[in-house]
């Protein structure tokens, strides 16, 4: 995925691909509730700024559990993402089993309005986003 980098933090890099019209979040390293909340709020800001409907949320380089933020992601952040225009959310799993469990825990709360689907590779996630309208 190519695109213009919008922000780079120790825990996340966010870019926007104008050709694909996809916001790309590349999470890195150990995550805490604070880093998840910060990164998610930055994603929301850029989603609004670019009037984007699709997100590729890449956790493939996440190395820790972050389940203390799972409920917040589901019940607070996802509704705000939906209100801002997000409709399709491709979530690439981390190879770290605990990070995967955190993602599944978030989705287990039930996401409304946004179609959120998990993937094992960025390529498959992007291919899915390309066919979503």
Per-residue pLDDT tens digits for 79-110: 999 999 999 999 999 999 999 999 999 999 98
Residue 69 has pLDDT above 80, yes or no: yes
- pTM (2 d.p.): 0.95
99, 62 in Cβ contact below 8 A?
A: yes
Residue 133: which pLDDT band, with cuts at 50, 70 and 90? confident
Spatial distance between the Cα atoms of 85 and 120, rounded to a whole number of angstroms = 25
Q: DSSP E strands: which ranges in the chain?
A: 4-8, 12-17, 22-29, 54-62, 88-92, 115-119
Per residue in 43-52, pLDDT tens?
Answer: 999 999 999 9
Query: If we measure between CA atoms, which residue out of 79, 83, 68, 6 comes closest to residue 37?
Result: 68
Of 79, 74, 53, 59, nearest in space to 132 by CA: 53
- CATH number, residue 61: 3.40.50.10600
Residue 2, pLDDT > 90, answer no
Q: Which of 35, 93, 98 is nearest to 69 (CA)?
A: 35
Q: Which domain holds residue 67?
A: 4-131
* CA distances, 47 to each of 15, 44, 55 (Å): 10, 5, 8
**Residue from 13, 16, 18, 108 nearest 61 by CA:** 13
Q: Give the chain's domain count.
A: 1
Residue-averaged pLDDT of the chain: 95
CB 48 within 8 A of CB 59: no
């Amino acid at each position: 995925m190519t695109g213009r980098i919008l922000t780079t933090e120790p825990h996340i890099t966010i870019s926007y691909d104008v050709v694909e019209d996809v916001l790309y979040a590349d999470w890195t390293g150990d995550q805490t509730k604070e880093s998840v909340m910060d990164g998610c709020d930055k994603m929301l800001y850029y989603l609004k700024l670019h009037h984007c409907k699709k997100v590729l949320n890449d956790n493939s380089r996440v190395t820790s559990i972050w389940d203390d933020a799972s409920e917040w992601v589901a019940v607070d952040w996802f509704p705000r993402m939906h209100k801002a225009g997000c409709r399709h959310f491709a979530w690439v799993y981390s190879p770290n089993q605990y990070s995967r469990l955190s993602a599944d825990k978030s989705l287990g709360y039930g996401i409304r309005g946004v179609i959120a689907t998990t993937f094992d590779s960025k390529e498959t996630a992007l291919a899915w986003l390309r066919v979503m309208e």
